[in-house]
Structure 1
Amino acid sequence: MSSPSSEIFRRGVQIQRRTLLAWSAALVLLALSVVGAWPSMESSGALEDFSSGVSPEVAAAFGIDRISSASGYLKGNLYAVLLPLLLGLMAVTTVTALTGGDEEAGRLELLLALPVARRQVFLTRFLCVLFGLAVTSVLVWLSVYGSVVSFDMDVSAGGVAAVTLTTALLAVLHAGVAYAAVGFGLGRGPALGLAAGVLVVGYLLHAIAPMSDALEPLAGISPWEWALGNDPLLGGVPWGGVALLAAGAVALVAAGTYAVDRRDVKNA
Structure 2
Amino acid sequence: MQMFELARYDGRRRIRGGIYLSIGMSLLAAMVIWVYPSFKTEIDLNQLLSAYPEPILQVMGIQTMASLGGFLSFELYTFGWVILLGLYLAYATAGTIADDVDRGRMDVLLAMPISRRRLVGERFAAMAVPIVLVNVVPPLVVVVGARLIDEPLAVADVLAVHLLSIPYLFACAGIGLLASVVFDRAAIAQRVALGVTFALFLSESLLTGTDAGAIGVIAPMRYYDPNAVLLEGSYDFVGAGILVAMTVVFLVAAQLWFARIDIA
Q: Does the residue aligned with 2:164 lie in a helix, a strand or coil?
A: helix
Aligned to 2:149: 151
Matches within 5 A, 1:20-35: 20-35=18-33
The aligned amino acid for 1:117 is S
Aligned to 1:113: 111
| Percent identity over paired residues | 24
> Structure 2 vs 1, CA of residues 143 and 111 (structure 1 numbering), >3 Å: closer, same or farther?
farther
Matches within 5 A, 1:56-135: 58-135=56-133
Q: Does the residue aligned with 1:152 lie in a helix, a strand or coil?
A: coil
Structure with more relative contact order (C-alpha pairs < 8 Å, separation 6 or more): 2
Q: Which ranges of structure 2 fall in alignment gaps of 5 or more residues?
A: none
Aligned to 2:180: 182
Q: Which of 155, 166, 172 is matched with 1:168 structurally?
A: 166
Aligned to 2:261: 263
RMSD over aligned CA atoms reads 2.5
> Structure 2 vs 1, CA of residues 137 and 229 (structure 1 numbering), >3 Å: closer, same or farther?
closer
Mapped to 2, the partners of 1:218 and 1:263 lie a distance apart of 30
Q: Which ranges of structure 1 fall in alignment gaps of 5 or more residues?
A: none
Q: CA deviation at 1:126?
A: 0.6
Aligned to 2:251: 253
Which ranges of 4 or more aligned residues in structure 1 deviate by more than 6 Å? none
Mapped to 1, the partners of 2:17 and 2:38 lie a distance apart of 33
Q: More deviation in 54-63 or 122-131?
A: 54-63
The aligned amino acid for 1:228 is D
Q: Deviations over 1:102-126 (max 9, x none)?
A: 2221334433332222221221111
Q: Which of 217, 225, 228 is matched with 1:228 structurally?
A: 225
Q: Which of 240, 243, 252 is matched with 1:242 structurally?
A: 240
Q: CA deviation at 1:129?
A: 0.7
Mapped to 1, the partners of 2:98 and 2:83 lie a distance apart of 22
Q: TM-score, normalised by structure 2?
A: 0.87
Aligned to 2:136: 138
Aligned to 2:13: 15
Q: Deviations over 1:188-246 (max 9, x none)?
A: 22322222122212221232223x64344444443212111872223332012111111
> Structure 2 vs 1, CA of residues 18 and 265 (structure 1 numbering), >3 Å: closer, same or farther?
farther
Q: CA deviation at 1:56?
A: 6.2
Mapped to 1, the partners of 2:167 and 2:125 lie a distance apart of 14
Mapped to 2, the partners of 1:242 and 1:224 lie a distance apart of 11
Q: Deviations over 1:24-75 (max 9, x none)?
A: 2222211221122222222223424412433667535423321111211111
The aligned amino acid for 1:187 is R
Q: Deviations over 1:136-162 (max 9, x none)?
A: 122222322232233332422222222
The answer (yes or no) to whether the contact 1:119–1:261 under 8 Å persists in 2 is yes
Count of aligned pairs between the two proteins: 263
> Structure 2 vs 1, CA of residues 264 and 56 (structure 1 numbering), >3 Å: closer, same or farther?
closer
The answer (yes or no) to whether the contact 2:68–2:151 under 8 Å persists in 1 is yes
Q: Does the residue aligned with 1:236 lie in a helix, a strand or coil?
A: coil
